[in-house]
Every structure is written in C-alpha cells, then in structure tokens.
Amino acid sequence: MGKLDGKIAWVTGAGSGIGEAAALALAEEGATVILTGRRREPLEDVARRIGDRAHVQPADLTVSAQVQKVGDYIRKTFNRLDILINNAGVNILERHWANLTPEGIDTLVHGNLSSALYCITVALPFMRAQQDGLIIHTASMAGRFIGGLSGPIYVAAKHGIVAMSHGLNMEECVNGIRSTVFLPGEVATPILDKRPNPVSAEERARMVQPADCGDLIRYIATMPKHVVINEVHLSPTWNRSYVAALRSKL
C-alpha cells in the first residue's frame, strides 16, 4: 500500500526532467497520474514505465483552451484532483536585454507564469469541492534571488510563481488547500541545453538530479493535510556560484 493510493495527480512538463521524476515518484507511491506536456511521445514513454495508472493528455499549457480541455478530461474520467505538480517551464537562448525580442518575452512569460496560472484555475474547483488539495509549483532559485544567469524575464516570471504560491495559501487555506513553491538550484535537466554557454557532463553530474527533485516532491505530497511546506530550496552541494565566489578571492 502506498501513501498516495487513490489519489489523482496531474503533472505538467511530465515528459522529461523534474516533471518526469515527479510523475514516477508519485506513481511509485500509489497515485494515478495525468501526464501533460507539448509532445506526446515523451509522455507515452513515461506512461509505459508507470503502467495502467498513467494517463497521457498532451497540451500546450500557454493556450488556456487546451488547459481547460485537460481539466474537462480529469472531470469526466475521475471527477477529482488531489495533487497538481505545476512544473512546466521554459527558457531561451536570447534571454538578456541586449537581444530580447517581444516574441521571446511572450515565450518566457506565458511558458513560466501564465501556463501555471491557467492550471491553477482548473485545479481549484476540484480542490475546493473536496476541501482538500495540494499544489506544488516548480519555480527556481531565480524566483527568490536576482541574478544574471537565467535572464531578467525568466527571473521576473519565477518571482511571480513564488508570489502566486504564497497568495494561494493566504486565500485557500480555509478550503484545505496547500501550496508549496519549490526552488531548485541547478538541476541536470534538458533546459540546460538552452544555456548560452554549454554545460559539461562533469558539471551536470555535480548538480541536483531530477530523481532528487522527485523524491522531495513525493515527500511533500505525503505530508498530512494539517501542515503545508510553504517554500523549499534544494541546491547542489558543489554550488557553482559559491565556488566561483571563493575562487575570485584567491
């Protein structure tokens, strides 16, 4: 018996990285998982590894109508939603002010903030009716600390995710709904391929791994209803920003 037996979890960005690891961890704990991302093939691969308790629902989460369509599927198929892993996100190569375009700004804002908000509008009616529910948002250390690496619009969007999560707890605590914002440091996921400067395999091996994030998300999801982990950071021990600062003093 798993601690999440009978629970319905919707995982966005589930085809790779943190979303994939979260889906696998929640399923191992007994949850039924709805897997959403833009591309069907990676979702199908994750679903095959999970088995019968995985349901693939591809969608472009920057399009509100497609998000609502997934919500309609969840209502028709399960008529409940216990956990939302609000994980989908994106970055681009042309991320700094010197080469940002309006199209790039739209990609970053809609891919990291609007999409998360759309998913919340689907989840809240289920959770309010149940008087119970958990939402875990993947933000980033960039959502709490301002730095130059991720680019200013990504940083702004992730700060918005942090504010959004705390605002949910302020308003929805009376409905038994808990919101956790997860702020990982560098994680060895495919988003690193969008860095202007390549990241070596050796550097990736020292970073937080997706499975580490999946284990943490599973732990949060199995906490009792009367408590909420409002915000949690997870960083690599070999923190490259710390190491760079130490070396600059030599």
* Beta strands 54-56; 32-36: pairing state: parallel
What are the CA-CA distances from residue 149 to residues 88, 141, 192, 241 (Å)? 19, 11, 11, 10
Of 73, 154, 219, 242, the active-site residue reads 154
- Which pair of structure tokens corresponds to residue 207? 């970073």
> How far apart (Å, rounded) are the C-alpha atoms in residues 238 and 199?
14
Across-strand partners of 55? 34
- Residue 194 confidence (pLDDT) above 70: no
Q: Is the pTM of this model over 0.75?
A: yes
Mean pLDDT (the chain) is 95
Q: Domain 8-248: which CATH class?
A: alpha beta
Mean pLDDT value across residues 116-134: 98
What is the rounded CA–CA span in Å between residue 204 and residue 173?
Answer: 38
β-partners of residue 25 are none
**CA 74/CA 34 separation, integer angstroms:** 8
Q: Which helix (H) or strand (E) holds 36?
A: strand 32-36
**61-109 tens-digit pLDDT:** 999 999 999 999 999 999 999 999 999 999 999 999 999 999 999 999 9
Give tens-digit pLDDT for 196-236. 777 788 989 999 999 999 999 999 999 999 999 999 999 99
Does residue 191 surpass a pLDDT of 90?
no
> Any idea where the domains of the chain sit in the sequence?
8-248
DSSP 90-156: ---SS-STTT--HHHHHHHHIIIIIHHHHHHHHHHHHHHHHT-EEEEEE--GGGTS--SSS-HHHHH
| Strand partners for 210 | none
What confidence category does residue 29 fall into, taking pLDDT thresholds of 50, 70 and 90?
very high
N residues, the chain: 250
Catalytic, 219? Answer no
Q: Which two three-digit tokens encode residue 209?
A: 């791994």
Max CA-CA distance within the chain? 62
pLDDT value for 184: 96
